[in-house]
């Protein structure tokens, strides 16, 4: 059995018996015990009372975090002519059409967000089996299939987070860095929980938000008091 390090053991002890905390309490606890040499991400996971296998229970959306993610987001855009120029001017990292499709088919995926103008979807559609499992497929429901390329690129660069319920009805995302102060992390948490709450699908029955947990990249998780997190 692997030996537990001193930092891990101390963190586990600090979290022991802590449960159903308020957002402020959870953030303070996690920040106090995030002591690695790199800037850890604050991760959130929400267990929802939905079955994503049914179309009327799929949860999907986007959240503009008030304080960003703290992460540099690499953006790829499928566009031609003036829309390609618009994407480049807005700060897109990769812009192309057939050439970008071929690059992705060859296994080169050097981006975190993919945006496309509607006329490009014939090309992008061929990449569904590659981009879909990575949650990178452009979708009009989250604003990544659009003629307003400038706004979409700028939103992605500013820290907009997409979310989608995975198997088992779990939504998770990175919503900030441990270097953020507690107030900014709390604001991001509340904004994300609110966005997922508003995305409740028509087919959801019973309790929608069953559990919300927070953790740093290398730290233990702690459960939030769902009622207070949704209501705050």
Compute the distance between CA of residue 103 and CA of residue 93 in angstroms, rounded to an integer.
14
pLDDT tens column, 121-177: 999 999 999 999 998 999 998 999 999 999 999 999 998 999 999 989 999 999 999
Mean pLDDT for 105-129 is 96
Sign for the CA dihedral angle at 26, 197, 52, 77 comes to negative
pLDDT at residue 232 is higher than 60: no
pLDDT at 8: 65
Write down the mean pLDDT value for the chain.
92
Measured between alpha carbons, how far is 211 from 165 in angstroms, rounded to an integer?
14
Tokens of residue 138, six digits:
């452009």
- In this prediction, residue 200 carries a pLDDT of 95
Starting from the edge strand earliest in sequence, which strands make up the sheet with 94-96, in order? Answer: 94-96, 75-78, 113-116
49: closest CA among 63, 39, 40, 59? 59
Q: How high is the pLDDT of residue 4?
A: 58
Give residue 34's pLDDT band: very low, low, confident or very high (50, 70, 90).
Answer: confident
What is the rounded distance in angstroms from the CA atom of residue 153 to the CA atom of residue 88? 9
Compute the average pLDDT of residues 206-225: 93
Per the model's pLDDT, the better-predicted residue between 160 and 10 turns out to be: 160
pLDDT of 170: 96
Mean pLDDT, residues 201-226? 93
The pTM for the full model equals 0.84
pLDDT of residue 15 exceeding 80, the answer is no
Residue 70 CA, chain-centre distance (Å), reads 12
Please state, in angstroms and rounded to a whole number, the distance separating the CA atoms of residues 198 and 195. Answer: 5
Whether the CB-CB separation of 197 and 171 falls below 8 Å is answered with no
| HEC readout, the chain | CCCCCHHHHHHHHHHCCCCCECHHHHHHHHHHCCCCCCCCEEEEEEEECCCCCCHHHCCEEEEECCCCCCCCCCEEEECCHHHHHHHHHHCCCEEECHHHHHHHHCCCCCCCEEEECHHHHHHHHHHHHHHHHHCCCCCHHHCCECCCHHHHHHHHHHCEEEEECECCCEEEEEEEECCCCHHHHHHHHHHHHHHHHHCCCCCCCCCCEEEEEEEECCCCEEEECHHHHHHC
**pLDDT value at position 181?**
95
In this predicted structure, the answer to whether residue 221 has a pLDDT above a threshold of 80 is yes
pLDDT on residue 159: 86
pLDDT for residue 167:
84
């Amino acid at each position: 059995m692997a030996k537990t390090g001193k930092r891990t053991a101390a963190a586990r002890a600090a979290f022991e018996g802590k449960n159903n905390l308020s957002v402020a309490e959870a953030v303070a606890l996690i920040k106090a015990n995030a002591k690695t040499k790199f800037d850890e991400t604050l991760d959130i996971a929400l267990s929802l009372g939905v079955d994503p296998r049914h179309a009327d229970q799929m949860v999907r959306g986007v959240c503009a975090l008030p304080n960003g993610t703290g992460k540099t987001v690499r953006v790829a855009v499928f566009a031609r002519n003036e829309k390609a120029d618009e994407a480049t001017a807005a700060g897109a990292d990769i812009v192309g059409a057939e050439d970008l499709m071929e690059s992705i088919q060859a296994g080169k995926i050097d981006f975190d967000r993919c945006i496309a103008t509607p006329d490009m979807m014939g090309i992008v559609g061929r990449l569904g089996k590659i981009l879909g499992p990575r949650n990178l497929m452009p979708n009009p429901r989250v604003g990544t299939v659009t003629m307003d390329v400038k706004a979409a690129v700028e939103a992605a660069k500013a820290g907009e987070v997409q979310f989608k319920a995975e198997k088992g009805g779990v939504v998770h995302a990175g919503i900030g860095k441990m270097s953020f102060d507690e107030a900014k992390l709390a604001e991001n948490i509340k904004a994300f929980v609110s966005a997922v709450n508003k995305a409740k699908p028509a087919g959801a029955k019973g309790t929608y938000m069953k559990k919300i947990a927070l953790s740093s990249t290398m730290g233990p998780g702690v459960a939030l008091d769902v009622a207070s997190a949704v209501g705050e």
